Structure 1
């Protein structure tokens, strides 16, 4: 029974639609004409876009100066880094930079004396721009504007500003690292200079090469002691036979003994001083070698940090630069006409149904 009633209602509605078909078609046509007129009255907008890949956040020094590491310099950023870039693109700092550069408040016709002009300008800017990740993990910056030239300029400027923002962020951190390492390097250099100064003082006392001097002095003192002992023994022998030897023999023997003792006495202070100073000298040399190696490592790190701080490279792999669009993307005239036509058709059809089925019940 219900199916029969539905069939009868559908038949009745169809008959009414056929009965008033001219009226419905006329109203639909009027709607289409209104949509067509409005589609030409709406100020068109043009879309310009730029596409680029974001590089991985690698240190310049490590990417360029390290051996066999250039592939990291050419590597694309991962999804996390793409999200970071999209976050930067949505920042108020970047928006205000673009708004100021192109005076968009005036361009959008926003009264600066009205309430919240900056907020309104940002809202209009947001509605005219789109930042999104493509299917291939690139980033697309799309800008719509009534001025096609301005749309292209804004898109390219956003891309350049993003590059500048990323560079400034990285260089800001690199500067902090550079200053920290530079301070440590200078302190270490002072320590090394102090050690060299102490070594210089010790060298002035005659200790300048422990191994070579130790060998030479050891041999010299042993030789001097041996010479003194030999000459003393010789003199004693000569004394036992003094009556049988010429006077000159004893005189020469005593002269050689005196010379040997003088040589020994002259070496003794040098050997004693060497013994006292050599311990400190060896300690300082060991510390110096260690600190010099530490200083060399700090110098390498300082040079790398300076490269990261003072050098800058592009923060994007540009795929497509924004160009001036030739064709507007808004409004879609065919869609506007279709929507107005459909709306007019539905309204006219509902009016006919109301007149035929609803209104008679109230009479």
Structure 2
């Protein structure tokens, strides 16, 4: 029965480390020297950043025009809206704006290479960072070898985000504005048609149903009453003609003729009023209803126009980007430590392989 080699324990590791201490120390120092060279030869990069809150995606018209609703206009965006803003910052569309603005293809040295735009986007993605802070703000950080350019790029990322959110809002607002504008124009045409019909009826003598109805009713009744009264008076006078002078009967006949004339004049006016009043009342009621509907549409139309055409800031700036005075990358002490640690780990693992793993392979080979 074959015995398996024992697994190395802690003491074995210490023994091997001591036996190969010079080699391990050499490789560790070599790693440190490489780290020092890398730290001092690497081009320094400066980081500029800006911090801001985004407003909630509320309707401008509802926030500004509605009574006691101004607090909605001042609300900060929630987590979902913050994530949407970060998604916009990471989009290729927004990156392309920054690339074009600062000619980053040439700045990064990709202009005459294959796939320059793709490489520039990747480099810009590496050199920029967008994240949500603990207090639900957004931080835009941009690194570059040029401190002034890093600051300008951070500012332009924020400006481009503001512009993109405004464009999205206005694009949606434009659709709503066009739809409501069509409804408003259609309703205005309907109201104008009703007013035209009412105007035609007014030209035929119906102006105000209630007042005209009262006046005409009173006038026709009085005219008819006068006719009947004069007829009755004339009849009595004729029965007693021998006792009355002729002038009395003649005067009564004149008054009767005048009363009948007045009555005959009023009859067609009253008949015409009766014929048109029903249509007038129908149109007047319809006009009031449609006018109210038009007024509501006008409010919606004005609100949609405000949402479509208004351009307001899409950010609450907390910390404005400034030109960094000190390079953030590379962090020399950290870089030297990592290279030194890497040299130690590589040398230690190499020694362990030579002492514990390689002999097993040789033993198996001999047995075979």
TM-score for both structures, normalised by structure 2:
0.91
Compared CA separation, residues 229 and 156, structure 1 to 2 (3 A): same
Instruction: Classify the secondary structure of the residue corresponding to 1:137.
Output: coil
Compared CA separation, residues 12 and 176, structure 1 to 2 (3 A): closer
The structural deviation recorded for 1:60 is 1.0
Name 2:42's counterpart in structure 1.
42
Compared CA separation, residues 342 and 226, structure 1 to 2 (3 A): same
Name 1:55's counterpart in structure 2.
55
The structural deviation recorded for 1:344 is 2.2
The structural deviation recorded for 1:17 is 3.2
Compared CA separation, residues 20 and 92, structure 1 to 2 (3 A): closer
* Aligned mates of 1:146, 1:46 — CA distance in 2: 6
Name 1:105's counterpart in structure 2.
105
Name 2:75's counterpart in structure 1.
75
The structural deviation recorded for 1:181 is 1.7
* Aligned mates of 2:334, 2:317 — CA distance in 1: 34
* Aligned mates of 2:14, 2:124 — CA distance in 1: 49
Instruction: Classify the secondary structure of the residue corresponding to 1:85.
Output: helix
Structural mapping, 1:139-288, within 5 Å? 139-288=138-287
* Aligned mates of 1:355, 1:259 — CA distance in 2: 142
Name 1:295's counterpart in structure 2.
294
Unaligned runs of 5+ in 2: 1-5, 364-368
Instruction: Classify the secondary structure of the residue corresponding to 1:97.
Output: helix
The structural deviation recorded for 1:20 is 4.4
The structural deviation recorded for 1:212 is 0.5
Compared CA separation, residues 233 and 346, structure 1 to 2 (3 A): closer
Compared CA separation, residues 146 and 188, structure 1 to 2 (3 A): same
The structural deviation recorded for 1:39 is 0.8
Moved more, 320-329 or 250-259: 320-329
Name 1:90's counterpart in structure 2.
90
The structural deviation recorded for 1:21 is 3.4
What do residues 331-363 of structure 1 show as CA deviations (whole Å, max 9, x unaligned)?
A: 221122112212222344455556667788969
Instruction: Classify the secondary structure of the residue corresponding to 1:173.
Output: helix
TM-score for both structures, normalised by structure 1:
0.92
* Aligned mates of 2:359, 2:68 — CA distance in 1: 89
Moved more, 317-326 or 336-345: 336-345
The structural deviation recorded for 1:10 is 4.1
Compared CA separation, residues 346 and 86, structure 1 to 2 (3 A): closer
* Aligned mates of 1:238, 1:359 — CA distance in 2: 155
Compared CA separation, residues 234 and 182, structure 1 to 2 (3 A): same
Name 1:119's counterpart in structure 2.
118
Compared CA separation, residues 247 and 67, structure 1 to 2 (3 A): same
Unaligned runs of 5+ in 1: none
The structural deviation recorded for 1:68 is 0.6
* Aligned mates of 2:256, 2:357 — CA distance in 1: 149
* Aligned mates of 2:276, 2:356 — CA distance in 1: 121
Instruction: Classify the secondary structure of the residue corresponding to 1:144.
Output: strand
The structural deviation recorded for 1:111 is 4.0
Number of positions where the alignment pairs a residue of Structure 1 with one of Structure 2: 358
* Aligned mates of 1:93, 1:17 — CA distance in 2: 55
Instruction: Classify the secondary structure of the residue corresponding to 1:67.
Output: coil
What do residues 26-46 of structure 1 show as CA deviations (whole Å, max 9, x unaligned)?
A: 432232122111111111222
What do residues 73-100 of structure 1 show as CA deviations (whole Å, max 9, x unaligned)?
A: 0101111111211221121111111111
* Aligned mates of 1:92, 1:291 — CA distance in 2: 49
